[in-house]
Chains A and B, each alone.
Chain A
Amino acid sequence: MSLEQYAQFSNYAMVSATCVLALAFLAHVAEWALARKVEASERALVGADGQDVTLAADAPAEPATERLSRIGVLLTGLAAVILVASVVTRGLAAQRVPWGNMYEFGLAGTMIALVVYLVLVRTNGVQWLGGIVSGFGLVVLGMSISTYVPAGPLVPALHSYWLVIHVAAVMLAGGLFLVGAAASVLYLIRSRAEERGTVGPVLRRFPASALMDKIAYRVNAAAFPLWTFGSLIAGPIWAHYAWGRYWGWDPKEVWAFITWVVYAGYLHARATAGWKGRRAAVFCLIGFATFLFSYYGVNLFGAGLHSYAK
């Protein structure tokens, strides 16, 4: 294939992956809707004859929600495969690593988040994260379309092997932050419902809040050293060679630092008795918001030296 064909293929694959991911998201939404409906019909039955018929109603209905969940995961897997193809062909078209600008970063970052999620589905059975992860992924891919640039070579500042190291580490950390934030959102919703005793049919499909808290912590604990390496070691080393100083409070640097500080706060909060649970989860979400801002917001609002990444 010629470079143009690779580029074309990458674009088509990206759009296809977005569509498939949208279908995956719909499957998970349908799963929740069905769970709600099943609960409602159960309640109606109980009301009718006063007996507990939950078991009888469960038997045929439960597989339907399970099937939808499995369809969602399968579609997410398909989307991930197509996205991998899109990222790879993008790299072939541009003849370099496929994360040289915002558009490519969004694609590759979503790809990593999806792959991390799918691995966790196999090892830890986190299908329940599907709706959140596919929804988030859809948003990021959508935002990436708005930053589309044709495949091509990079400006001289990016001609460095540190592009591979710095951006890959930051992207991997970002993918993990996304999974951790999804678990924290669910933790907050579910733990509140648990406290009030209002765990509804949809929330019941998610595991207990303690488990989600644990998963969020594990994922963020893995992401934090990666983020430290990517943004506070690899970034400054590259900045030294490219711009003649290792740290200059460029807006991107400021926000990378803020993200680091907030996630450091999260890890401490998690280890401190009075801050466990809800407050730690809030820390995690603030951290993810600052990460999103350093990834996307800084390029939109500020100028700064990272502006070529637009």
Chain B
Amino acid sequence: MSAPTRERRASELSSREFLRWMWRQLTSMRTALFLLLLLAVAAVPGSFIPQRGVDERAVELFFIDHPTAAPILDALGFFSVYSSPWFSAIYLLLMVSLVGCIVPRMTVYARALRARPPRAPRNFSRMPASGSFEISASVEEVMQAGRRALGRARIDVVDDGSGTTELRAEKGYLREFGNLVFHVSIVVVLVGVAVGSLWGYRGAVIVTEGGGFSNTLSQYNEFSSGPLFDAEDLPPFSFRVDRMIAEFQPEGPQRGAPKLFQADVTYTERPGEDPEQYEIYVNHPLSLDGGSVFLVGQGYAPVLRVTDSTGAVVFEDAVVFLPTDGSYESQGVVKVPDAQPEQIGFQGFFLPTAVSTGDGAPSTSIYPGAVNPLVGLRMWTGDLGLDDGVPQSVYVLEKDQMTPVTDENGEPFNISLSPGQVQELPGGGSIEFVDLKRFARLQVAQTPAMTLPLVGVSLGVLGLIASLMVRPRRTWIRARSGEDGSPTVVEVAALDRVPRDELPEEIDDFLAQLRMELGDSTPEESRA
């Protein structure tokens, strides 16, 4: 019976030893350095391959451009590098390594804080810097002068009873403190980031001038939230976009560059409260309890009115045309499900400053401001497919069950409208460019505990500065009273915890200062 028991114990011991060995490996500086470099390398692909959280459309384009590679990369998590298992594994290992390194050092530091400065070495000349001199002052006076010269260092004075007194001083405790603060702050930052992403939410919404928004899930165009966020917790604020201002450089070398984007809104923070006015512009979000509203984009929304063959107005609304480039050449879709006898769909472009590039050639936009607005559309009739139960994008026209409308020559029927213009449609009815409005693309976001990473990283920098600038030093002064009126022999030695070349010069300065404190101005006698 005893043999297998012993065997089991032995294996238990060895596995524990193995774990201990593993732990030591993980918490070694070499491993930490390796993990740090690995983290840097692992972060690289995310800057070259489009990321889901950053640019969803770029990811879709990548899939179209690289049909074979994309699914493989997807399976390996390359489209969401920073939440992929391998990236997480690296930084979690790094965190464990960090904590495993920091906790023992904290206990060591706590002990060091309580400890008294260590006793002087027997042989001062073996220290990196040392010196000695003789002086007529008493041992007691030397010790007092030493205390003054050493300032705020931690000091013990020990008399060995045989006429030799030793002063032990240590300073620079802040270095390790700063070091520990810096490393702890990294953990604080990560905890803060985690809290923010677990309980946070972010959504985007497009609101045309005059349009409103109330903060419920169904109102968002895009919405993402942390796994612990509850949509019931969306704060009940609402706002209306009264005016969207967009100004561009009218002339000069930067003609067309954006000058000002501003959304004037009227908001109500809680239902029943008085509405208030606010100007949201870039770098100037509307901060409300439980969420902030940021202006992240803008564009044009021509108001179009469509009548069908019966003469009834079947559509009248501002249609959002999404900008495709810096000149605000935009694309949009109009869906008219109520038109008789058939449903109508329009698809086309909007040009804020249209210029014809030649006979028959398509117009282009030469300036992002609305100087010569033009809506260009083509028309389809048939079934919009809205009743199929499949969710549709408002920016895409499903043409599977629709037929393009052509003119008498069999060419696609082109509609070209300036504000106020009306175009008769084949088969009866008309379309009118009633008015030009703008839309604001707003982002509503809340990141809880956002101050935690900020405080963490700020404390971290302070700790970092302390850990890089503070110089820990141990200094010893030994004074032996001379017999029969001969002078007192004073020996000084210093040791830097972090070796520095300047130590010998500084110990010379210290010796000079010590002698000055003792009222002696004779030149230095010897230095080891």
Whether A and B are associated in the same complex: the answer reads yes
Interface residues in chain A, defined as those with a beta carbon under 8 Å from any beta carbon in chain B: 149-150, 152-153, 155-157, 159-160, 162, 214, 221, 224-225, 228-229, 232-233, 236-238, 240-251, 254-255, 257-258, 261-262, 264-265, 267-269, 272, 274-275, 290, 298, 301-303
Given A149-B253, A153-B249, A262-B36, 13 other A-B residues pairs in contact with their CB atoms under 8 A:
A152-B249, A156-B260, A228-B464, A236-B453, A241-B283, A243-B296, A244-B202, A244-B443, A258-B40, A261-B36, A261-B40, A265-B33, A265-B40
In the complex, what's the smallest C-beta–C-beta distance from A210 to chain B, in angstroms? 8
Contact between A240 and B450, CB atoms less than 8 A apart: yes
Contact between A160 and B283, CB atoms less than 8 A apart: yes
Contact between B53 and A249, CB atoms less than 8 A apart: yes
A159 to B, closest residue via Cβ: B283
Q: Name the one of B47, B53, B501 contacting A302, with C-beta atoms under 8 angstroms.
A: B47
List CB contacts (< 8 Å) of B427-472 with chain A.
Answer: 443, 445, 447, 450, 453-454, 457-458, 460-461, 464-465, 468
Contact between B43 and A244, CB atoms less than 8 A apart: no
In the complex, what's the smallest C-beta–C-beta distance from B42 to chain A, in angstroms? 10
Contact between B468 and A275, CB atoms less than 8 A apart: no
Q: How far is the CA of A269 from the CA of B281 in the complex (A)?
A: 45
Contact between A265 and B447, CB atoms less than 8 A apart: no
B252 within 8 A of A: yes
In the complex, what's the smallest C-beta–C-beta distance from B291 to chain A, in angstroms? 10
Q: How far is the CA of A274 from the CA of B34 in the complex (A)?
A: 14
In the complex, what's the smallest C-beta–C-beta distance from B389 to chain A, in angstroms? 34
Q: How far is the CA of A222 from the CA of B35 in the complex (A)?
A: 24
User: Chain B residues near A150 (CB, 8 Å)?
Assistant: 252-254
Q: A262-B37, A262-B40 are in contact. Are A237 and B32 (CB under 8 A)?
A: no
- Residue in A150, A162, A240, A298 whose Cβ sees the most chain B Cβ within 10 Å: A240
In the complex, what's the smallest C-beta–C-beta distance from A100 to chain B, in angstroms? 11
Q: A159-B282, A301-B48 are in contact. Are A245 and B445 (CB under 8 A)?
A: yes
B284 within 8 A of A: yes
Contact between A246 and B457, CB atoms less than 8 A apart: no
B46 within 8 A of A: yes
Contact between B292 and A244, CB atoms less than 8 A apart: yes
Contact between A245 and B447, CB atoms less than 8 A apart: yes
Q: A249-B53, A261-B40 are in contact. Are A157 and B283 (CB under 8 A)?
A: yes
Q: Name the one of A152, A248, A290 contacting B54, with C-beta atoms under 8 angstroms.
A: A248
Q: How far is the CA of A248 from the CA of B202 in the complex (A)?
A: 12
- Residue in B30, B193, B282, B296 whose Cβ sees the most chain A Cβ within 10 Å: B282
B259 within 8 A of A: yes
Would you give 20 A-B contacts (Cβ < 8 Å), ordered by A?
A149-B254, A153-B259, A156-B258, A156-B281, A156-B282, A156-B283, A229-B461, A232-B457, A236-B453, A240-B450, A243-B294, A244-B202, A245-B445, A247-B193, A249-B81, A251-B48, A262-B40, A265-B33, A265-B37, A274-B30
Contact between B33 and A221, CB atoms less than 8 A apart: no
User: Chain A residues near B504 (CB, 8 Å)?
Assistant: none
Contact between B501 and A214, CB atoms less than 8 A apart: yes
User: Chain A residues near B54 (CB, 8 Å)?
Assistant: 248-250
B261 within 8 A of A: yes
Q: Name the one of B249, B282, B294, B468 contacting A221, with C-beta atoms under 8 angstroms.
A: B468
List CB contacts (< 8 Å) of B195-230 with chain A.
Answer: 202
Q: Name the one of B44, B81, B281, B453 contacting A258, with C-beta atoms under 8 angstroms.
A: B44
Q: Name the one of A152, A243, A245 contacting B254, with C-beta atoms under 8 angstroms.
A: A152
User: Chain B residues near A232 (CB, 8 Å)?
Assistant: 457
Contact between B468 and A244, CB atoms less than 8 A apart: no
List CB contacts (< 8 Å) of B30-75 with chain A.
Answer: 30, 32-33, 36-37, 39-40, 43-44, 46-48, 51, 53-54, 58
Query: Count of B residues near A, CB < 8 Å?
Result: 52
User: Chain B residues near A229 (CB, 8 Å)?
Assistant: 461
Contact between B43 and A275, CB atoms less than 8 A apart: no
B385 within 8 A of A: no
User: Chain B residues near A160 (CB, 8 Å)?
Assistant: 283
Contact between B36 and A265, CB atoms less than 8 A apart: yes
In the complex, what's the smallest C-beta–C-beta distance from B299 to chain A, in angstroms? 15
Contact between A246 and B450, CB atoms less than 8 A apart: yes
Contact between B257 and A152, CB atoms less than 8 A apart: yes
User: Chain B residues near A237 (CB, 8 Å)?
Assistant: 454
List CB contacts (< 8 Å) of B236-264 with chain A.
Answer: 249, 252-254, 257-261
In the complex, what's the smallest C-beta–C-beta distance from B58 to chain A, in angstroms? 8
Q: How far is the CA of A94 from the CA of B69 in the complex (A)?
A: 46
Q: How far is the CA of A250 from the CA of B514 in the complex (A)?
A: 57
User: Chain A residues near B261 (CB, 8 Å)?
Assistant: 156
Q: Name the one of B47, B283, B461 contacting A254, with C-beta atoms under 8 angstroms.
A: B47
B371 within 8 A of A: no
A229 to B, closest residue via Cβ: B461
User: Chain A residues near B81 (CB, 8 Å)?
Assistant: 249
Contact between A225 and B465, CB atoms less than 8 A apart: yes
Q: Name the one of B281, B443, B450, B461 contacting A225, with C-beta atoms under 8 angstroms.
A: B461
User: Chain A residues near B283 (CB, 8 Å)?
Assistant: 156-157, 159-160, 162, 238, 241-242
Q: How far is the CA of A250 from the CA of B58 in the complex (A)?
A: 13
Q: A228-B464, A241-B283, A265-B33 are in contact. Are A246 and B447 (CB under 8 A)?
A: yes
Contact between A254 and B259, CB atoms less than 8 A apart: no
Q: How far is the CA of A274 from the CA of B461 in the complex (A)?
A: 26
Q: How far is the CA of A210 from the CA of B44 in the complex (A)?
A: 33
A218 to B, closest residue via Cβ: B468
User: Chain B residues near A302 (CB, 8 Å)?
Assistant: 47-48
Q: A152-B257, A246-B447 are in contact. Are A268 and B33 (CB under 8 A)?
A: yes
B37 to A, closest residue via Cβ: A265
User: Chain B residues near A225 (CB, 8 Å)?
Assistant: 461, 464-465, 468
